[in-house]
Structure 1
């Protein structure tokens, strides 16, 4: 990014002293707390605020630089860099204090007055440049701080996605972003020696920008960390990745190869914290492998040792015997003297609610013996630790444990086993002797998310999350938390609010949250400095995310009204609309859902359109949608808001238009969302594509999804859907490319690298192969030009032969079968393709596929006679060498193909054969090849009995397909019985003399078998040609 205006490197003549890590750390520590008010009184800081206000005002119009001529630049002085950095640190700290940790910064009037005066001066400057333009706006004397915050809000919109529209003190974050990131005051070039170490701060600001854009979404587990996957802002994601690389280079002095040089000017704790911030950044972006690597680096730097192990203990009050319970054993490398002193005093921490269950213990009661039997597998540092008496941990090591829990929670399947693995990490931090306030809050939040999934702990999980939210929100919104803290919980009175059925309070009554839980005590509230110390290294959600997660927790126990009230208080109108629509859908069967979807439509239309009575839109660029505080949801109707679109559009207008498009099934709404976002909101085209698919308009759907992936090329879901469309349209090369991109961009087994995508990729390659073969045959007949052979041309351009396409198809199906090893249909495709390879089928893959299908289906109907015949033919292709006339059974060498085929038949196929005589015939043939004559004769006898013994259940000797009726009445089955009888006679003749107990008696046994068949078939088939065959066999045996 090339900076606009004067910066430290733009030739000001000022020699700026480089900011060393020690200087930056001391400045950051000095500016946390209440230093912002003091900084804002300094003239140079006010000049920077004025410049910031001018920059925000310039972004208001279509041309960002329209009024650039009226914009002055800060006076270049030797103090400018230091003041800019200090002001940036203080602004970011105050913003996080107000929105993440609490309490609200003191003397907010100073902040409001400073920014409002700068904004009004900027408007006066604009008015002197273009009076006509400003005449349409709010008079300067009536401008409020909310008007300025609205512009700041709009400046953060990225790729059509806007942040939460009611963020307190949003101007503080925008000021920090303006100073650190834009390059208009401080250089943003990592190679600039003056500000090189500010790369970490720039990355941090960009990451918080991304966090402000993430939208709450319904779903289990840690919604905040999972919500990043649903945030479609590819532009900002790319900037974060670049910023992360720059910050790593600055902190660890990495070179071109990306490897650390081994020496860093940052303290060790800062290096560990950077790796933890990197891990949480990668978790939010959905990169599990990179997050895992960053966490491992942090653990290595800290010298921290921990392990998830087992120890004997009791979990319930009525448990008589101890069983192995999961526990996290952890030991820090060493504690500093400062931490040792701090551990002597109990630090302030939020209230941890008791479980109060009549069955479960509050904590697992471990045996006094400690960890059993598996001590040798633990690191030596952990072998002498007792599970219920573990050493104290460093705060950064506690964060490592919570990051491990967050990593597992975000990327692991949501099942009981995963929850059991995550909980011990949070419990280890909660049970520690002394914990930082924000770290302890995060540990309680992690535990609450897990307990929401258990019937006996769901009550504590919801109430604990409510308590955490209350303590953060009350501290955040109340400027005097100390007064509340000093209140005794025994005398505090809960706030109770009663409403009639189907009656909702107005937003004015619910702006300030109330709770039935006691107000926090003094011991439960920490200083702003303490709360902010580790906030960037934790996955701490902003307050609106925390409240929305609480709302979803209430919905998990059926309290949809409580969730609705929270969303109304947060003014998350898309969520309010979706909540009404969900309530309507869930109650529709009982007749109680009427009107819910209409309310949802009314809310969305109210946000997007003027009332129907207004025919001409009055452009008010500073207008946030009015009357939010007095909105009566029961009074508004969709028909009341069919006027012109609001101008400017509200925050998140593209998302609102998409929701309205879903409700009204109108493609125009999706198109409008696409236009408003400047063709950057991929969800608009995705929804439009789905609408075209409902109407079977495949080509239009294809165009929509091509536009969607053009904007967001990192979405496996979009690529996979585009591949489905291409596959349906017969564009097999394009389908293969789309599925490959879906797999390449997938970070887990969902949306991209799942069995369905792999299977579709295999189908695309297989269809492509068939097209190439068909085009090749057509070319031989008509000698067409290769330009007309589309599939062949694409394959040639990519260097893929027809054989390679078939092999790629097989590889894709194999991968899909590996991912979903219980899906027998994919394994069936693997077998079919492996058998189709020429000149040599992939017999190992065939064997693997047959074994997998047998494992899954466990029935004879899962067998394929043609495939098994192919295997037997290959195994018996080379004759066995007989040594010295020995009757010893031939055993192929282990690992050979013959050995694998024999093991498959004997171990897996033989136990399944019950109805199909053809399978016994293959077994007999295989055993005879081994010189196992007794076994071969036994298999032939079983084939004969299978054919003769079942009336109405005999099967075809060749195909194995079931035939109706008995062989006494069915000519085809009668032929099978005769063939099996002939095979049995031949087996007696060939093998009988080699088998002890039969010898010369084989003729008698053969005659007995023939007469048995003839006795049953005399009435039905006497005189038939095959009857004559049996008579001839009897004659030959005399």
Structure 2
């Protein structure tokens, strides 16, 4: 019995991962299933699925046959899902009868496979109704559940069974009852409970079911995340040492890839990378990108470097080509016919091409596509990203032949990359249209598509059709997009279409008609609120959902924010986030509301939560840094700004804050690097020169001390008020307390030794930065003063005098008469200018022309200032400066 059950599980897993067809190993395993008395009735159904057309309905019927004894007492008025729930509740999840446990397992697995066929891989099965129990009958009774009764049943199941943490299904999936069946069984049956039947893969199938459920929801769910992450870790340990000869390397690697996909869904990039590394090691395959000379366009004359992906097998690893295990052959130009009519080639023509592997197995192709997703999540989104991703797609296209589902996924990625470029936007739309057709056409069969359905990322049908509709909309095909959105009940997008067509009244009528059929659907009430701009619709959605529809509160919060009413917005956001805390945009919005309400402690926690959920949110890192800068916790601010500038390297504001925070933490050389990045930007003239002045002050103090690592006293930035500082309490961590001390006391800097070769190189870099700033519109009195400070530090007094003279003239060019603060700066500038001239005279005592010319400069300032600042102490100081100049000349 144990051998037969293990064989059954292995065959199912191999068929859905590596696509094993009519091989000797598969038939041997099927023989074990048939020979066992307790599983022989399943053998024919299993053979149909594995060696036939991939139809899972016979497996469903076999499973239901074993469940007849436990379902016999259920009420006939109950729906199928209600029967299951009541039976499982009565048993408490404990199933001691091995036959019944096998029945539950087969029903759940088969139901999931039917749902995947209808919503992920295609093609749709014929005569399959909404009710799994009725559809599994061989008398064809399932067809009766396909009318209005079936639609009503489907809507009921979507609302009651598919909502998790206040998040509802996005759109309208097909045959949702089958996913509900699988989810109900895997949640309700304890397959690990002791009995004479051991089902090692039950948690694996549960992982697949819950992950697909998560993909269908509008937002990530905290409940599903907890379950999926725990399952992934447990499965990795359980299957790590399984017999590769029995299970197959590809099958065991598939588990690690599926765990990686779970981690990617929840933005756990490091954990995903670990699982991908384990899968790569198991398959013995390495990937590396390199450049090869080639041509990308039809009319290109000279070859240019083209990025390609090379797949390398480790020593001793042999090919396990997918082509050998398929009864059918995939047409080489499938999904690509007619795409070569444009100037840009589908695949670059390479010259001197390195030897490439073109016989990757299904698992190896899935690994290539998994790496593609991982690389995109590992780096900030830039204009070059699509060029770095495309080699992974081209690697799949070069396979001879590729797996059917792998090619579908690669085509989708190619369409996403190409829609970003004007020259290939039309081709991108054609690719999407071909995918829409492929999902509906009967060829290639589901038996060719099923391998990779769980190891390759591909959106479920409602989300794929939504993406297709959005692309139609971006190409101004509003009418076609409207049809797609209405069919799959993408209400938000549908409203946009009607608004573009200026037919808002029709949108309202359509939603009202749907509400007559489903008055308790909170998604429809929210859509009505979007159309009418009536907050009472969102309140109605909240009430009709039993206060479980997070989107309703999010809409109320957004409405309040538009009216600058932040207190009720906070209340609504808190209710929504209490239901589903895995919503980065929600935490960001409530953080903004907290800031507007001066609740900075709460804002800090909110933005921290955003970065925990999505580490790629540059705005959240920036806001987090701004709060820490206001608190003067510079270490924390600098850590946040490092992430922010990594994600948005083109933002001069982020770099400006990065420089200041770095300098206040003692990272002087990083401050110099930051200034080099800023000066290379077109917007460098907008930068506040405070950081540049602070840098010069730190370097000057270090030079005067005569050693590296000098302690520098840094004053607080002028943009942080003492009043703000008095109202803040810092109690988040020890690091923050250290940061506060650092903000007001001396710190160790990372400068090289004064006078060393590295020091001189640093001075040259700073001089270059100053010259570049001087060549921009940022050149003003503040910059000339900083420039003068630099020349004073390097003891170049003639240049110092020239810079201070420029500063003085720049100040006199302003509206300073009557402005005491500006006049005070002019007086200070005059004193510095005279000191610089005296330094020049000391170097050459015979030449006093420099001071002599300044005497007339000072006289002119005194004459003008006397009419406006007669009793000013600053005027007295200016007269003293003039007297000093006259005494030197005499």
Q: Structure 1 length as normaliser, TM-score?
A: 0.65
RMSD: 4.9
Q: Note if 1:275 corresponds to 2:256.
A: yes
- The answer (yes or no) to whether the contact 2:66–2:99 under 8 Å persists in 1 is no
Shift of 1:415: 4.8
Change (3 A) 1:606 1:232: farther
Q: 1:433 aligns with which of 377, 386, 400?
A: 400
Change (3 A) 1:171 1:48: farther
Aligned-partner Cα distance in 1 for 2:63–2:326: 39
Change (3 A) 1:921 1:25: closer
Shift of 1:200: 0.6
Partner of 2:65: 44
Partner of 1:672: 540
Aligned-partner Cα distance in 2 for 1:263–1:233: 34
- The answer (yes or no) to whether the contact 2:792–2:800 under 8 Å persists in 1 is no
Partner of 1:555: 473
Matched ranges for 1:372-451 at <5 A: 384-385=354-355, 390-408=357-375, 415-451=382-418
Q: 1:604 aligns with which of 494, 511, 518?
A: 511
Partner of 2:754: 892
Partner of 2:616: 749
Q: Note if 1:691 corresponds to 2:559.
A: yes
Q: Note if 1:988 corresponds to 2:840.
A: yes
Q: 1:180 aligns with which of 165, 186, 193?
A: 186
Matched ranges for 1:499-648 at <5 A: 525-573=443-491, 575-581=493-499, 583-584=500-501, 593=502, 596-608=503-515, 610=516, 625=517, 646=518
- The answer (yes or no) to whether the contact 2:167–2:221 under 8 Å persists in 1 is yes
Q: 1:908 aligns with which of 746, 769, 776?
A: 769
Q: Note if 1:26 corresponds to 2:11.
A: yes
Structure showing the higher helix proportion among its residues: 2
- The answer (yes or no) to whether the contact 2:63–2:106 under 8 Å persists in 1 is no
Aligned-partner Cα distance in 2 for 1:54–1:159: 30
Q: 1:233 aligns with which of 215, 221, 230?
A: 221
Shift of 1:579: 2.6
- The answer (yes or no) to whether the contact 1:59–1:155 under 8 Å persists in 2 is no
Aligned-partner Cα distance in 2 for 1:355–1:730: 56
Aligned-partner Cα distance in 2 for 1:761–1:658: 32
Shift of 1:73: 11
- The answer (yes or no) to whether the contact 1:689–1:705 under 8 Å persists in 2 is yes
SS in 1 for 2:311: strand
Aligned-partner Cα distance in 2 for 1:987–1:458: 66
Shift of 1:724: 1.7
Aligned-partner Cα distance in 1 for 2:405–2:137: 35
Partner of 1:203: 207
Q: Structure 2 length as normaliser, TM-score?
A: 0.75
- The answer (yes or no) to whether the contact 2:291–2:307 under 8 Å persists in 1 is yes
Q: Structure with the greater relative contact order (CA < 8 A, sep ≥ 6): 1 or 2? A: 2
Change (3 A) 1:733 1:356: closer
Change (3 A) 1:354 1:966: farther
Change (3 A) 1:49 1:117: farther
Change (3 A) 1:55 1:423: farther
Q: What are structure 1's unaligned runs of at least 5 residues?
A: 1-15, 122-138, 215-229, 254-260, 371-383, 476-524, 585-592, 611-624, 626-645, 770-802, 881-889, 948-952, 993-999
Partner of 1:473: 440
SS in 2 for 1:537: coil
Change (3 A) 1:710 1:457: same
Q: 1:1009 aligns with which of 847, 853, 866?
A: 853
Change (3 A) 1:49 1:310: farther
Aligned-partner Cα distance in 2 for 1:1010–1:335: 86
Aligned-partner Cα distance in 1 for 2:486–2:858: 87
Shift of 1:275: 1.8
Partner of 1:496: none
- The answer (yes or no) to whether the contact 1:47–1:74 under 8 Å persists in 2 is no
Instruction: Single out whichever of 567-576 and 338-347 deviates more from structure 2.
Output: 338-347
Instruction: Single out whichever of 198-207 and 71-80 deviates more from structure 2.
Output: 71-80
Q: What are structure 2's unaligned runs of at least 5 residues?
A: 16-45, 708-751, 868-874
Q: 1:874 aligns with which of 685, 694, 701?
A: 701
Q: Note if 1:88 corresponds to 2:108.
A: yes
- The answer (yes or no) to whether the contact 2:260–2:271 under 8 Å persists in 1 is yes
Shift of 1:37: 3.7
Aligned-partner Cα distance in 1 for 2:572–2:866: 72
Q: Flag the structure with larger Rg.
A: 1
Change (3 A) 1:1031 1:921: same
Q: 1:760 aligns with which of 607, 623, 626?
A: 623
Which deviations, in whole Å up to 9, do the C-alpha atoms of 1:45-64 show, x marking residues without a partner?
Answer: 46179469769937989997
Change (3 A) 1:86 1:303: same
Shift of 1:24: 0.7
Aligned-partner Cα distance in 2 for 1:190–1:549: 46
Partner of 1:453: 420
